[in-house]
A = this chain, B = another copy of it.
């Protein structure tokens, strides 16, 4: 560990994109960490101690310090291990601002609408949330075009902050296409993102972390059935 103050633990749930993104960054940085799958119906003392406000995952525990909220954790890992592995955020203040803007957009708009698709109780709600997700993806197609400037990933030729954040939703998006019957990552509407997703999914540590569509779909359908 480059800059240590104790060992690293990650409290997580395998199916949550917010946890997937933290795991991908820890893998990308090559950090050793202990992954502790949580049961949120019976919250652990570690979780309650280190995230007393939200009592949610992910929580990264570094030594005795807990850090919550995935975007906060990603920036912490990048800043604390700035010399370990590739940088996650871009190098200039302006590019970092743009990356933070789109990260918040992905969580506010795309993630919220994919969650809406999963939990839609009526046909009407489903249609509305599918439209929201498609609109968010089309906006992100433009963001990708502008940020990547013809390169492979949002931040250039290697995976960065926005790739990890959007990438954590890719398997869910494919699952939700199966559940809704609607095309979300549609190559006629978001061709750059469809190609980006293919490149993203060829990366070893991405595949190590992301679950299969089949496993996540089984989980998603079970969640829909019980709520």
Contacts and interface: CB of A to CB of B under 8 A. Distances in A.
Interface in A64-113: 65, 67-69, 71-73, 75-76, 79-80, 93-94, 96-98, 100-101, 104-105
Contacts of A67: 94, 97-98, 101
A54 to B, nearest CB: 9
A80 B53 CA distance: 32
Given A75-B100, A100-B75, A105-B53, A93 B69 contact: no
A79 B93 contact: yes
A38 interface: no
A79 B80 CA distance: 17
A98 B73 CA distance: 10
Interface residues of A, number: 23
A16 interface: no
Interface of A: 53, 62, 65, 67-69, 71-73, 75-76, 79-80, 93-94, 96-98, 100-101, 104-105, 139
Q: In the complex this chain forms, how many copies of it are found?
A: 2
Contacts of A65: 94
A99 to B, nearest CB: 9
Contacts of A98: 67
Contacts of A97: 67, 72-73, 75-76
A100 B79 CA distance: 13
A21 to B, nearest CB: 15
Contact of A80 (B62, B75, B80, B94): B94
A80 B93 contact: yes
A72 B94 contact: no
A225 to B, nearest CB: 30
Contacts of A101: 67-69, 72
Contacts of A62: 94
